[in-house]
Every structure is written in structure tokens, then in C-alpha cells.
Copies of this chain bind each other. A is one copy, B any other.
Amino acid sequence: MAATLKDLSRETGLGLATLSKYFNGGTVREKNRLAIEAAVKKLHYVPNEVARSLKTQQTHAIGVVIPELSNTFITSIISSMEDILRKRDYAVIVCDCRSDPKREKEAVEFLLHRRVDGLINMATDPTGAHLKAAMNDGIPILLVDRLVENLRGKVSAVIIDNAHAAGQAVRKLTGLGHRKIGLILGSPNLYTTNQRLTGYLNALTEAGITPADEYIRYGDYTMDGGYQAVQELLKLKDRPSALFVTNFEMTLGAMLALQHQNIRVPEDLSVIGFDKLELFGEIFPDLTLIRQPQLSIGREAANLMLDLLTSREAVPHRIVTLTTELAEGKSVRSVCDQSNFDTKEYGQCL
């Protein structure tokens, strides 16, 4: 069907090596260059990447294994990664494992069979067992967003400083006198969940506040989860005066719940959300939030992977930690100025 180098050779009278060199950026006599270009056009020649892969032992394909395709944080990272990788002629093979460790392992094996050059993984299995085969194969592995304890020092990663991010948010709130701070986390036992919880607890401790379990909720990183978590928090006899929500979807759900319950922000409750400033744009323009640089995460991940791929020597494993930013809005205020201000509790305001 499609033309091959051999066809080009016949057409131009040139040898295979010359043609190959031409297509790989080598220098060719002007006359021949023209001949080749003419033949390419005539025969609609397109290099066969499969044959090239077999020969070079490089597929120019990167496997990406993620827990969920329907999460804007994840898709925006993938989007930015894919953009960069494709520009460098790497294909991205996406495998959605539905947060199922078994599927995740299968996905890794599937990709290994296809001889992907590298693996990018937002890990579902916290033990990292699914990556064992890939480690044996010696292909570059890059963790994104979530570290895997057992693999520490063995693979590279691009993450954000979750504990710090949560600390930023909570410190902002304690600084405004809040002592009852609700926290809505993702699923239990996830790396990011744990880290953000740690940051929250540390910041409270710093401020001399004893954390209360009832203020800590798990919203599964979904809109509905965030919505529910808020409902529960509002049922508490001793409601929090402030709230920190730890991803985009849950923030959305939380804001909806607050509206439904006619809780004013920040008059009745201070809120710090997470992610996606642009999307909140017109809708909650004044929402204070922790902003993760998902584009940078994707970019860093893609570039780090390209590094790992192209460096002759084994690159030492690198952990790139990106920083988050506290985007100030108007959704927080001093507890003393909130409707639920209580002199007895907050004498310091006086």
C-alpha cells in the first residue's frame, strides 16, 4: 500500500542509506535532495515508524497510567504533557485504570508489551507493586502528583508540596483568628490526602489549636463528595467558622452546598478552595484558593521524561517539587467580622 524506502530507491536511483540519512537530517547532494523530495511527493512516501521502532528499539511512545480520566486536574496535566511530548514526536498512550490497582497493574503490563519508552504514572496502588516489572525493564518511570513510599529514591517524580500548600491555607485562616477550621480531603490513604492532612494538622498545632476529628471530612475528590461533606459540617452543633477544600471538584460541590444552605461567604463562613482559578473565573471571582500549577506539572513531567529518555547515562532520580500559590480573594475574613463571632470564644478580637 504505502510507499517504502525501497520504492523511493527505485524511483530516485539512490541507495537506501542515502535516503535514510536524508530523512534523519543528514546532508545530501542538492541534486539528490530535489530528487528525493520529488519522489516523496509522487509516491506519498511517509516513513514507517514501526519499522524504525523495531530497528532503533525505541517506540517513541510514552505510557500514561492514571486513576481517572474524568477529573479536570488530571486531564489538564495530561493535556499539557501530551502537547509537549507530541511536539517531540512522542505518542501518548493513555490508560485509565479507574482507581483500581488490579487494572493499574494490567495497564503497566500492557504498555510494557508495547515497549513504550517510558512510563508516567499517577499511582493508584500505594505500594508501587504495579511498577515492579517496569523497574526491571529499566525504562524511565516518572511519578506524577503522588509519591510512592517504597519507590523513594528509585524513580523520579513531579509533585507539589502538598503539606506546604495546606499549611499556607490553614495558616491564612488561623492568622485571621479562626480556630474551628473544616477540612475536606480526598479519599483516605492517598498520598495527596495524607500530605494535605499533615499540613493542616501542623498548621493547627502551630497555632495552638487542637484538631477535632469532626472537622475533617473525606469527599473523594468529587463534586458530590464536596457537597456532602459540607452538608455534614453544617449539621455539627459547633460549626466551623472556616473551611479548606482540597481540590477543584470538591470546592465546586462545597460552594453549591453553601449556596443551597444560604450560607454567605465570607460573612458566615470563610472558605479557601483549590485549583482552577480560570474556571471559577466569573462564577466565584472572589474565591480565595490554593492554586496548583497543573500546566507546569504537565510541562515539568514531559520535560523530565524527555530528559530521562535522551540522556545517555542513567540520570539520577529526581524529585521536582513545584510550589503552590495562595491566590487571595475575598472569601475569607477575620473571624471577628463574621456573623458567627462569639465574644466568649474569641476574646482576642476585642
Assess whether A339 is interfacial by the CB under 8 Å rule. Answer: no
Answer yes or no: A135 CB below 8 A from chain B CBs. no
Contact flag A69-B78 (CB < 8 Å), given A54-B50, A93-B91, A282-B228: yes
For chain A, residues 117 to 144, give those with C-beta under 8 angstroms from any C-beta of chain B.
136-138
Interface of A is mostly: helix
Q: Which residues of the other chain, B, contact A223 by a CB distance below 8 angstroms?
A: 279, 283
A15 within 8 A of B: no
Q: B48, B98, B107, B255: which contacts A115 (Cβ < 8 A)?
A: B48
Of the listed stretches A28-36, A79-87, A170-178, name the one at the interface; the rest are far from the partner chain.
Answer: A79-87
- Measured between beta carbons, the chain B residues less than 8 angstroms from A78 are 69, 94, 96
The one of B47, B114, B253 that contacts A91, using a Cβ cutoff of 8 Å: B114
With contact pairs A72-B70, A260-B259, A283-B224 given, residues A46 and B138 touching in the complex (Cβ less than 8 Å):
no
CB under 8 Å from chain B, chain A span 20-78: 44, 46-51, 53-54, 59, 61, 69-70, 72, 75-76, 78
Q: Could you say how many copies of this chain the assembly holds?
A: 2
| Complex interface: chain B residues within 8 A of A137 (CB) | 1-2
The answer, yes or no, to whether A95 is at the interface (CB within 8 Å) is yes
Bound complex: CA of A283 vs CA of B46, how far in Å?
A: 52
CB of A226, distance to nearest CB on chain B (Å): 9
* Cα(A44)–Cα(B135), bound, Å: 14
Picked from B1, B115, B283, the residue with its CB within 8 Å of the CB of A253 is: B283
- Which of B46, B82, B224, B252 contacts A95, CB < 8 Å? B82
Give the residues in chain B near A253, CB-CB below 8 Å: 283
- The answer on a CB contact under 8 Å between A91 and B72 is no
Query: Is B91 in contact with A92, judged by CB distance below 8 angstroms?
Result: no
- The residue of chain B having its C-beta at the shortest distance from the C-beta of A78 within the complex is B69
A224 to B277, CA, bound (A): 12
- Per-position binary interface string of chain A over residues 95-118, scored 1 when its CB falls under 8 Å from any chain B CB and 0 otherwise: 110100000000100111111000
How many A residues have CB within 8 A of the partner chain? 57
Is A347 at the interface (CB under 8 A from chain B)? Answer: no
Q: Is A191 an interface residue (CB 8 A)?
A: no
Is A244 an interface residue, CB under 8 A from the partner? no
* Cβ-neighbour of A283 out of B48, B86, B227 (below 8 A): B227
Docked pose: A226 CA to B224 CA in angstroms = 20
Contacts of A110 in B (CB 8 A): 86, 89, 91
- Which residues of the other chain, B, contact A61 by a CB distance below 8 angstroms? 93
Q: What separation, in Å, do the CA atoms of A94 and B228 have in the docked complex?
A: 34
Q: How far is the CB of A92 from chain B (nearest CB, A)?
A: 6
Contact call B228/A256, Cβ cutoff below 8 A: no
Task: Check A49 against B92 for contact (C-beta < 8 Å).
Answer: no
Contact B282–A227 (Cβ < 8 Å): yes
Cβ–Cβ < 8 Å partners of A136 in chain B = 44
Task: Give per-residue flags for A252-281: 1 if the beta carbon is below 8 A from chain B beta carbons, else 0.
Answer: 110111011000000000000000000101
From A51, A69, A138, A257, residue with most partner B Cβ within 10 Å? A69
Partner of A53, one of B50, B98, B255: B50
Does A1 contact B138, Cβ atoms closer than 8 Å?
yes
Q: Which residues of B contact A255 (CB under 8 A)?
A: 256
Chain A 237-259 near chain B by CB (<8 Å), digits 1 or 0: 00000000000000011011101
6 nearest A-B residue pairs (beta carbon): A69-B79, A259-B259, A69-B75, A50-B53, A91-B93, A70-B75
